[in-house]
Amino acid sequence: MFQGSMVALITPFKDGEVDYASIDQLVEFHINNRTDALVVCGTTGESATLTFEEHEKVVEYVVKRAKGRIKVIAGTGANATHEAIELTAYAKRVGADACLSVVPYYNKPTQEGIYRHFKTIADEVDIPIILYNIPSRTGVEIAPETVYRLAKDCPNIVGTKESTPNMDRISELMRLLGDNFVVLSGDDSLTLPMMALGAKGVISVANNIVPVEVKNMVDYALKGDFKKALELHLYLFELFKILFIETNPIPIKTACWALGMCEKEFRLPLCEMKPENEKKLIETLKKYGLPVVRE
């Protein structure tokens, strides 16, 4: 089962290229801090500005670097079904443990189109697939009933990552699908509310810099100790919110740069933070006692 505290891993760049030396350090950092899975080439991994070749190479590189010590979930979504199939097949071929497949963006397909998109991928590639519902970016969401159809018809569709503040939706997913289908939070500040409704963990942005704290919060919730989980949630809440002061992954990559984990390099149309927001971010990192080495 895919559950627990998973990191939406950044993709570091240096001089316009993927920085594989920094990826090495990030993989070891998360293994050492007991993160449950690496999610690579997702939104936080800037997949939208990676070339196909880079995307596939990063997935393969992380799988090889992990050496089975930590699960690797590859972002393989696309708004064209044939592209999503190609990325998903490649991820399986190089040994990824599962794939994260986003609802097709820009096209605004109907629910029937969304169903056929994911069913086609699942039929073509026999690998565990986690759906990714993020309507703020895709322009359309996958209805709970469509998730139910897919889970019923496709045994390898095993879960959904939910980036939505709609807790009624989470309740409906749990009601329809029960405990065997994995619901994961896609928003750090909503992880605890979702887990109170039955979600099994988070694919976390904050986990890039506070993996121990996020894992402890999730583990407490999985054990049913919501009092301790709430204490950690409230402690981390200010950090969760500052990491979304601008479009993700701009703040988290800036935070990783400040902590000496990567360069502060993006690809257009993403760019550096406004100076006043960067100052607030770094002040918050210091407030949490994180080892800021650059500002």
Within a domain: residue 58?
yes
Within a domain: residue 232?
no
The answer to whether residue 28 scores a pLDDT higher than 90 is yes
Within a domain: residue 262?
no
End-to-end CA distance of the chain: 40
Peptide bond into 291 cis (omega under 30): no
**How large is the average pLDDT for residues 114-125?**
98
Q: In the numeric block, which tokens belong to residue 58?
A: 């990063």
What band does 39 get if pLDDT is binned at 50, 70 and 90?
very high
Residues marked as catalytic? 132, 161
Do residues 6 and 36 make contact, with C-beta atoms less than 8 angstroms apart?
yes
**How large is the average pLDDT for residues 40-51?**
96
How many domains does the chain contain in total?
Answer: 1
- Percentage with pLDDT > 70 across the chain: 100
Q: Which domain holds residue 131?
A: 4-225
The answer to whether residue 1 scores a pLDDT higher than 90 is no
Q: What is the mean pLDDT of the chain?
A: 97
CA dist 181 and 42 (Å) reads 21
Within a domain: residue 281?
no
Do residues 132 and 159 make contact, with C-beta atoms less than 8 angstroms apart?
no
- pLDDT tens for residues 164-206? 999 999 999 999 999 889 999 999 999 999 999 999 999 999 9
Within a domain: residue 278?
no
Within a domain: residue 287?
no
Within a domain: residue 268?
no
Do residues 77 and 40 make contact, with C-beta atoms less than 8 angstroms apart?
no
Q: Where are the beta strands (DSSP E) in 47-106?
A: 71-75, 98-102
Within a domain: residue 270?
no
CATH number for position 13: 3.20.20.70
Instruction: Extract the annotated binding site for pyruvate.
Output: 44, 203
At 280, the amino acid letter reads K
- pLDDT tens for residues 225-267? 999 999 999 999 999 999 999 999 999 999 999 999 999 999 9
Within 13 Å of residue 278, how many CA atoms lie on the same side as its CB? 15
Instruction: Extract the annotated binding site.
Output: 44, 203
The answer to whether residue 161 scores a pLDDT higher than 90 is yes
